[in-house]
Amino acid sequence: MNVTLEKSFPLPGSAELAWQILCDIEAVASCMPGARITERIDAQHYKGTVSVKFGPASMSFRGEIEVKALDAASCTLVLLGKGTDSTGSSGASMELCASIAAVDGDNCTLYGNSTVSVSGKAASFGGRMMGSVADQVLRQFAANFGARVARLQALNGALGSTAASGPRDASGTSGLSMDKISGGTPVAAAGLSVMHAPIEPSQLHVFSLLWGMIRDGFKSLFASGRK
């Protein structure tokens, strides 16, 4: 069973800062509810888990992530993820293409196109249910990603304000851009801390997602009733 989604989300930060986060696979994974990178094999391959909570019970899926493309010119990331649950009764794969487009100096847009394939017990939920759950997960991911961008934007602004009263660099710029946040400096540590800081919820709560689906269904029903 395949489900394809295409969405766009406004982000409260510059395209440059959003791209810095999108390039960091660990930071991207931490924005996905329930996902966690457990091992970095190399720059293109990672291992991870996804935890799903059904009320008091929990399930864990293990999988691999491959970075198929990372294009700075178009600010585009293409990922392929595959995994199975701990019992081997369900399998899933997802190909995600995400890109950043600038709106102005302080705002940008996240575009995402994903195709999810499921097999085994997971496929018994049906296409409509899977599509609704995938949509809710994508919205939560975008909200978490946007929160990271906003934090990094605030940090960059604070560092720029502090540097404004100090000496200018060779280019005549007193502010600090993200490409200067490098090496083992306190500035680098601050930037990485913001990008990798935990975001709640750390686990995917299916009941919460189902409530979101029901809520959206009622909204659609009432909207059609007013026509």
The DSSP result for 137-151, as a single string, is HHHHHHHHHHHHHHH
Report the alpha-carbon distance of residue 87 to residue 162 in Å, rounded.
53
Cβ atoms 137, 210 nearer than 8 A: no
Provide mean pLDDT across the span 120-146: 75
Return the CATH class of domain 2-225: alpha beta
| Averaged confidence pLDDT in the chain | 74
Domain ranges in the chain are: 2-225
Quick: pLDDT tens for 93-125: 888 899 999 999 889 999 988 888 878 776 666
Quickly state the pLDDT bin for 154 (edges 50, 70, 90): confident
Supply the pTM of this predicted model: 0.69
pLDDT at residue 101 in the model? 97
User: Half-sphere exposure of 67 toward its Cβ, with a 13 Å CA cutoff?
Assistant: 19
Quick: pLDDT tens for 37-47: 999 999 899 99
Alpha helices in the chain (DSSP H): 15-22, 25-31, 127-164, 186-196, 206-225
Instruction: Indicate whether 211 pLDDT > 50.
Output: no
